Amino acid sequence: MNVVFALAAPFPSPQGTQVYVRGLARALEVRGHRVTVVAYDLGDGDPGVEVIRVPVPRGYRRLRSGPDRHKPWIDLGMAAVLSRMRADVVHAHHLEALAAALAARRRPLVYHAHTLLGEELPTYFHRFPSVVARLGGGADQLARLADAVVTVSAPASAVLSRLGCRDVTVVRPGLDAADFVGVEARRQERTLVYAGNSDRYQQVDVLLAAMAHLPGWRLRVLTHDPVGFPSGVDIVVTRSWQQARDYIARADVAALPRTLAGGSPVKLLNYLACGVPVVLGRALAQGLRGEVPVNDGDPVDFARGVLEASRMERRDWACELLETEAWDRRAGQVDEVYARVTSGAAGA
């Protein structure tokens, strides 16, 4: 099957959605599909799949998430690119890509919701958050126009089903065993690691506040973009997954302060596959071995969870995860979605 991924973002990039897209695309190709990713003409690293670039304004170098004034024009260019492509199915990642695919009149069309704008959009605006939340929730209703919807979490699936979306399937992030060959957990006491950026939806402020209740602990931040982190934090600018992976494996505990339930952070599985226990809010907990759930947005309870995680003796859950959470299993779920939408198109 000829599959076109429409991604309204730079690609590749170490950010969660882009890592997800790359992992899923590669797994679908192993299953015999031809996958082409249409993405912004920005990125860093080897994409691992065929990419068609959408032009961006001269000097535009934004890799971070969130709205900006240039993206609507870039997404119009994406619609033009999609209108010229041959595909058995178009798989749109993020709402902007869905809008571009709809403008290009592409069918059958699968929408992949990596987040819910109704809960994430207010994190980018200080003023009138309730108004912004309603606007984001209204935008989420665009998903009803897709032939099928894939989400990355059960809460997002429930919300989009209530909005009237058709054929909603949960496909969580996966793991590629090849990414963890040679990893050996080498525990450094009282080292708490966080991998990611400082975008507001990550709720890094909860993590920083928790550190005040962890005397003697060191916070190490692994990021490709150090902007927004305060001075005094041990920041390591990572340029490859291998580099980040080795730092994670040396940590005592990993931190996931984010609490927005519409997404499913890729870093959770990456932390655990490195053999490191993870402290996270209950909204994102999936019942995996190595998780230590705490009260959402509570720095004191987060600090308590870090101490509890540091006392965990068993760190051998990685092998189990690499099998049960493999990308091939996720690709199989998506294959079933493709079969349904293409069968419907043929029948129509």
Same domain, 188 and 232: yes
Same domain, 148 and 216: no
pLDDT at 347: 43
Contact present, 108 and 83 (Cβ < 8 Å) = no
Same domain, 11 and 65: yes
Same domain, 158 and 183: no
Question: Which of 274, 275, 271 lies closest to 284 in space, CA to CA?
Answer: 271
Specify the CATH number for the domain of residue 188: 3.40.50.2000
Same domain, 26 and 132: yes
Give the number of domains in the chain. 2
Same domain, 67 and 53: yes
pLDDT at 101: 98
DSSP letter for 305, please: H
Structure tokens at 70: 């240039």
pLDDT at 345: 60
Measured in degrees and rounded to the nearest 5, phi and psi for residue 191 equal -115, 120
* H or E, element range at 202: none
**Residue 112 to residues 89, 108, 250, 279, 336, Cα–Cα distance (Å):** 13, 13, 34, 27, 14
Same domain, 78 and 142: yes
* H or E, element range at 319: helix 318-324
Same domain, 126 and 157: yes
Residue segments in the chain with a per-residue pLDDT below the cut of 70? 185, 314, 344-348
pLDDT at 299: 98
Domain that holds residue 14: 2-174+326-347
Same domain, 231 and 87: no
**Residue 160 to residues 66, 94, 112, 210, Cα–Cα distance (Å):** 21, 14, 11, 33
